[in-house]
Structure 1
């Protein structure tokens, strides 16, 4: 699989376009369905965070998603040009407390780290931010053509 690229504006309506893009390319790579669903959820969380926090829901920001199968890794690179942040400052959530207080939101980084094998965040403040998500994969034998 060569690198595939999608550019969208920072609108929540584009999340379904992003999910479909990831789903179709992961299917082409014969990735098991449960792994595909985890990748889609992690990418959805990353892009939602970009829309809400990097661009503060301003709809004209650009989000670039690149997908690549590199050996036995499915790699997703998501680039934006919005505000950066420091992932080190996000504490690990206390899930018991979180559910007791019936909180909504705030688990994006936790979910990405739980669903993916590697999560990296790079930023050049004032220029760009990049989230790198990778998942170790094996081909779904029932899908091999």
Structure 2
């Protein structure tokens, strides 16, 4: 029997005080999908980073904009789609950071995209024709013995 995909949606104002609500939303759904603690933490962190990037970069900390988060639970995977109407960017222009240099320079910030790509199994960025931006992240549920 094939399990269907179920979608859940959360739409919130672009404020950092909403990040806890976002983390709880995705963690609860990841738990429901059967992910373990470590993967749930990875999903939470990746989605937090995606939303923080929207707040700080796409919306430049403007609190009157919305972030739309859709979580899809499908057979053996969880998909998170974060959509905004802020400034676009080209993720291909962002290089993988040299972590040794990053630490040596005591830099702060700038690891959001790197973290998302490291924590999730698949990450895609799209600028839609209607002026929206989307980041789509997938995490696959590993079969447990």
- What TM-score range do you get, normalising by the shorter chain? over 0.9
Q: Does 1:112 align with 2:116?
A: yes
Q: Does 1:99 align with 2:103?
A: yes
CA distance in 2, matches of 1:3, 1:14: 20
Q: Does 1:42 align with 2:46?
A: yes
Could you tell me which of 67, 72, 92 is aligned with 1:63? 67
Point out where structure 2 has 5 or more consecutive residues left out of the alignment: none
Deviation at 1:2, TM superposition (A): 1.6
Q: Deviations over 1:47-105 (max 9, x none)?
A: 00000000000001110111111221110011001111000111110111100000000
TM-score (norm 2): 0.92
CA RMSD of aligned residues (A): 1.5
Equivalenced residues, count: 141
Aligned to 1:74: 78
User: CA 1:46/1:126 → structure 2, altered by over 3 Å: closer, same or farther?
Assistant: same
Q: Does 1:87 align with 2:91?
A: yes
Aligned to 1:23: 27
SS at match of 1:6: strand
Q: Deviations over 1:21-45 (max 9, x none)?
A: 0111111112111101000000000
Point out where structure 1 has 5 or more consecutive residues left out of the alignment: none
TM-score (norm 1): 0.92
Aligned to 2:127: 123
CA distance in 1, matches of 2:140, 2:48: 19
- Runs (4+) off by over 2 Å: 138-141
